[in-house]
Amino acid sequence: MTLVKNSKLWLSVLALLGTLFLGSVQASPVDTYEFSDPVTQKRYQELTKELRCPKCQNQNLADSNSPIAADLRQQVYNLLNQGKSDMEIMSYMVDRYGDFVLYRPKVKNMTYILWFGPAVLLLLGVGVIIFILRRKPQAKEKTTLSAEQQDKLKQILKD
């Protein structure tokens, strides 16, 4: 009976581990584009890694499986074949989707919070911690008991 319980337990553990491992496997998109030269292919790969999928939270075009990412990869491929430069392609994407499409947007009025927000929050946090620590009352110096007080304390503890 114990052997049956142990085997069921092991099967359950194996099933759980299998589910966890299979659940973490992600398929990345496979595009079969033909490039005229390796330089254009490298540019395509770099651009799709630098551009963010508008639908996905934090995936670039190269890693996203969403339909819009596939469309944008196709658009990048078409623009490369038309002889557009990387800057022209990036400008086209920003004009169409806004600064969100860039992983590293340019520093300008609309993106100050993206660039400087984390540093400001960190400095505010340090300031709050320093403020709290300075307001904390200092521990009073330990006072020593006189001989008479020590005798009274010993007597109380004995009773």
Q: What is the DSSP string of 76-134?
A: HHHHHHTT--HHHHHHHHHHHH-GGGBSS---SGGGHHHHHHHHHHHHHHHHHHHHHHH
What is the C-alpha to C-alpha distance for residues 41 and 96, in angstroms, rounded to an integer?
23
pLDDT band at 136 (very low <50, low <70, confident <90, very high): confident
First to last CA, the chain: 62
Sorting pLDDT into bands at 50, 70 and 90, what band is 124?
Answer: very high
Pick the CATH number of 29-109 from 1.20.140.10, 3.40.366.10, 1.10.8.640, 1.10.20.10: 1.10.8.640
pLDDT, residue 121, reads 94
Reported residue count of the chain is 159
Q: Is the C-alpha dihedral spanning 117, 120, 126, 132 positive or negative?
A: negative
CA atoms within 13 A on the CB side of 12: 6
> Structural domain boundaries of the chain?
29-109
What is the pLDDT at residue 116? 86
Assigned token pair, 143: 């006072």
In whole angstroms, what is the distance from residue 159 CA to residue 146 CA?
20
Q: With 90 as the cut, is the pLDDT of residue 127 above it?
A: yes
Whether 66 and 56 have beta carbons less than 8 Å apart is answered as yes
- Which of the two residues, 135 and 77, has the higher pLDDT score? 77
Higher pLDDT, 141 or 105: 105
pLDDT of residue 56: 81
pTM of structure: 0.55
pLDDT tens digits, residue range 36-91?
889 999 999 999 999 988 888 788 888 888 888 899 999 999 999 999 999 999 99
